[in-house]
Homo-oligomer: A and B are copies of this chain.
Amino acid sequence: MAEATVKPWGETTVVGKPTPRIDAYERVSGKAVFPVDVILPNMLYAATLRCPHPNATVKKIDVGKAREMPGVHAVLSDADPEARAVGWYSPPAGATQMMSRLFDPHCRYEGEEVAAVAAETQQQAWDAVRAIQVEYRTQPFVIGMEEAMKPGAPLVHSGSNQVAAPREIKRGDVAKGFAEADVVLEETYRTSTEIQAPMEVHGSVARWDGDHLTVWDTNQGPFGIQSGIAKALNMPLSKVRVISSYMGGGFGSKQEAGKYSVIAALLAQKTGRPVRLFLTREETFLCVGNRQSHIMKLKAGVKKDGTLTALELTGLGEIGAYPSNASVGYQIGDLYKCPNVHTQELMAFIHAGRQRAMRAPGYPQCNWALEQMMDSLAEKLGMDPVELRLKNISTICQLENKPYTSTGLRECLTEGARVFGWKEARSRPKGDGPWLRGVGVAGGMFGEQFGPPATAIVRLNADGSVDLNIGAADLGTGTKTVMAMVVAEELGVPLDRIYVENADTGTTPYSRVSGGSKTVFGDSPAVRSAALEVKARLLEMAAEDLKVPQSDLVFKDGAVTAKGGKKLTIADLVQPRTRQMVVGVGRRDPDLVDKIVRPFATHFAEVEVNTRTGEMRVLRLLAVQESGRVMNLLTYRNQVQGGVLMGVGFATMERRILDSTTGKMVNANLHDYKIPTAKDVPAEVTVLPIDPHDTECSLTGAKGVGEPSTIPTAAAIANAFYNATGIRVTTSPITTAQILTLLAERKAKG
């Protein structure tokens, strides 16, 4: 089904309407079986022994006592050849890719895997883990990125703590740009390490059937997990099946195969029984990835009229003990029109758990710097911050020198300012203490909207019900619902007669990992295309049966009607042919070659700050999102609210704390590591979708909304804080402790 022959939707009946999730009942009633709920007959429970030191070598390991513990069926460590046979590859970072062992004798971070046990019960497995005796040789460690880059710092790997070559964006001539500027500002911004805390902890259940391995795993895309496991165990993909039809949340740390999956598989092989290995919440804090802390030195030049002339960024990111990608430069190069740009980014190894992509990886950090800088520039110029941004909007992607299919940033700013009451709020008195009020704004964009191939299969049953088969995982965002709505829109089938089979490498066609806000963008066109093929087939069949040209037929509400009024239902068409179903297969068209697809956002925040107690409250947050077509207004709003809340966490509380004397994480639990709870939700969160009617970006017109919704929140809050207090907070999060310190410093300075 070529895109050219298909019209974009005009008025829609189903798509766009606020629609509860098709599996809402299963989700809220506990009927849905998530991987963590999978219980197989004869299943064993596993637990992992993890290194308690940030840098240590296993000198000696004695599993003898553990093996004799009650209920224990197997202990696995680096002493076992099957474990040593596993090559564990880090993701490539530039040209750097590293291989370690499954149980690497050199443990480079607190929590690295040392051994694992499978036993009849979870408690017996933990008891046995505690009975394993290990002699460690501890070594000096480094846990700060600036320290790590200093000569003589303890090395995480041989050579240097610098990960890969520096990343660079270079456009125009920044020296010339700064020379042309009327105002030049420079500031260093810092962000803290955030931990991923999805509702469902990471883990797998592994079962062998002969030489076929099935893994129930909580992840964002079973195909990537399948690849990872197959590579680690040196198996063909066709013998590894990964199922994650339900999964309990993922923000990036569930994109790669985890060692737990492979450990579960090896223990299952060793014992001849299915094995369940799920991490504890505490383990996830150490091992499954984080949003890296970043240091960003940003210099910006602007003319009196607000025109940006130059942006220069020097960045350093804290990558953890193994390579990963942690670039932040994208928005510097592309959010605003700027002829002269230079970014230089380094990443540093430290002796701590690894960074992994986390909801818009790099974007909130960069936004924290860039959008506070824009605020400072506006103040210096005496311009309204909204005006300054409007002044610098680009309708072309400068990094690729191609136009955007749609650029909603302008409308996000203007519509947002109108709905928020920006001007009025800016001009209101701040208050006369101790509570001061302020408002802030931040723009944002997300840059990953290319799309890989996706295939969808729509099976229309003879009774008019539908099975939709897609590879994509549903992270809880409502993917299944949106895809079912696309089918409902095209075929007129009610949503409760559409069953979605998804995210099972054994049974569904390839879809990319649900990350990069690409699921609706990449898969919904394939689903529409499959539904259109079914419709075309029905029209063909009806034309044959009624002996009229297809042009005289209309498909509506699950039936084909001819000009004269003759009507054939799906059953009329499908059953006489002894067909149980009509199968339609849809594929996403290749990426556009001459245009670029990007979602945009602008957030407006209002805060109040108590200058006596240091308390800050986010009073209201308006999230204006331009993500193309709104597919489901309800889940769109939900997803943006979630993004905002995560932004509030980034702005106000989340921070991994490593102890400088032991190198250990001191807040590796949900009591000491704070994430926003119901109490921390801004009193008012408003979601304002901007729909540019983008008919070019895809067959459905939708871009992605998951990540753009969390990008500008923190900077908008920081700008509102500044507006309220006159204090610029360059280091996230803006905690009460930091506020009190900054207030005290200002007082001290007089």
Contact = CB atoms under 8 A, between A and B. Distances in A.
A461 B459 CA distance: 23
Q: Quick one: which of A457, A462, A577 has the most chain B CB within 10 A? A: A457
A506 B512 contact: no
Contacts of A506: 467, 499, 501, 507
Interface stretch (A145-153, A234-242, A306-314, A596-604): A234-242
B212 A499 contact: yes
A210 B26 contact: yes
A255 to B, nearest CB: 13
A159 interface: no
A465 interface: yes
A230 interface: yes
A117 to B, nearest CB: 23
A452 B26 contact: no
Interface stretch (A195-203, A400-408, A580-588, A670-678): A580-588
Nearest to A27: B210
B583 A463 contact: no
Contact of A26 (B26, B209, B453): B209
A547 interface: no
Contacts of A41: 39-41
A453 B510 contact: no
A716 B29 CA distance: 63
Interface residues of A, number: 57
B465 A236 contact: yes
A212 B227 CA distance: 31
Interface string A2-39: 00000000000000000000010110010111000001
Contacts of A40: 41
Contacts of A464: 236
A674 B16 CA distance: 65
A512 to B, nearest CB: 7
B497 A465 contact: no
Contact of A580 (B26, B227, B238): B227
Given A210-B25, A453-B577, A583-B455, A462 B31 contact: no
A509 interface: yes
A579 B210 contact: no
B31 A457 contact: no
B210 A509 contact: no
A179 B138 CA distance: 108
Interface string A201-235: 00000000111100000000001100100100000
Contact of A239 (B465, B469, B510): B465
A158 interface: no
Contacts of A33: 209
A238 B452 contact: no
A208 to B, nearest CB: 8
A493 to B, nearest CB: 9
Given A227-B580, A469-B507, A579-B453, A29 B210 contact: yes
Contact of A236 (B455, B497, B512, B585): B497
A31 B210 CA distance: 6
A466 interface: yes
Interface in A639-675: none
Given A239-B499, A453-B579, A510 B459 contact: yes
A29 B585 CA distance: 37
B463 A230 contact: yes
Contacts of A583: 455, 509-510, 585, 587
A578 interface: yes
A635 interface: no
Oligomer copy total: 2
A498 interface: yes
A496 B235 CA distance: 11
A508 interface: yes
A507 B501 contact: yes
Contacts of A587: 583
A247 B89 CA distance: 40
A474 interface: no
Contacts of A490: none
A113 interface: no
Given A237-B461, A237-B463, A499-B238, A209 B32 contact: yes
A430 B239 CA distance: 58
Interface string A483-519: 0000000000000111101001111111010000000
B465 A237 contact: yes
B238 A465 contact: yes
A458 to B, nearest CB: 10
Contact of A585 (B26, B32, B465, B585): B585
A223 B463 CA distance: 13
Nearest to A450: B578
Contacts of A505: 467
B461 A238 contact: yes
A32 B578 CA distance: 32
Interface string A430-472: 0000000000000000000000110101010111111101000
A128 B26 CA distance: 33
Interface string A558-584: 000000000000000000011111010
B510 A580 contact: yes
A32 B466 CA distance: 30
Contacts of A580: 223-224, 227, 510, 512
Contact of A462 (B211, B237, B455, B463): B237
Interface in A63-86: none
B31 A209 contact: yes
Contacts of A32: 209
A32 B212 CA distance: 11
A71 to B, nearest CB: 19
B578 A512 contact: yes
Contacts of A497: 236, 238-239
A210 B27 CA distance: 10
A621 B210 CA distance: 37
A512 B579 CA distance: 8
Contacts of A237: 461-463, 465, 467
Which 9 pairs between the two chains have the least Cβ-Cβ distance?
A507-B507, A238-B465, A236-B465, A238-B499, A237-B461, A510-B581, A510-B580, A455-B583, A585-B585
20 contacts: A26-B209, A31-B210, A33-B209, A41-B41, A223-B581, A237-B461, A237-B462, A238-B461, A238-B466, A238-B497, A238-B499, A452-B578, A457-B509, A459-B510, A467-B505, A467-B506, A507-B508, A510-B580, A512-B578, A583-B585
Given A237-B465, A467-B506, A585-B585, 8 more contacts: A41-B41, A223-B581, A236-B463, A236-B464, A452-B578, A467-B505, A499-B506, A583-B585
Interface of A: 23, 25-26, 29, 31-33, 39-41, 209-212, 223-224, 227, 230, 236-239, 241, 452-453, 455, 457, 459, 461-467, 469, 496-499, 501, 504-510, 512, 577-581, 583, 585, 587
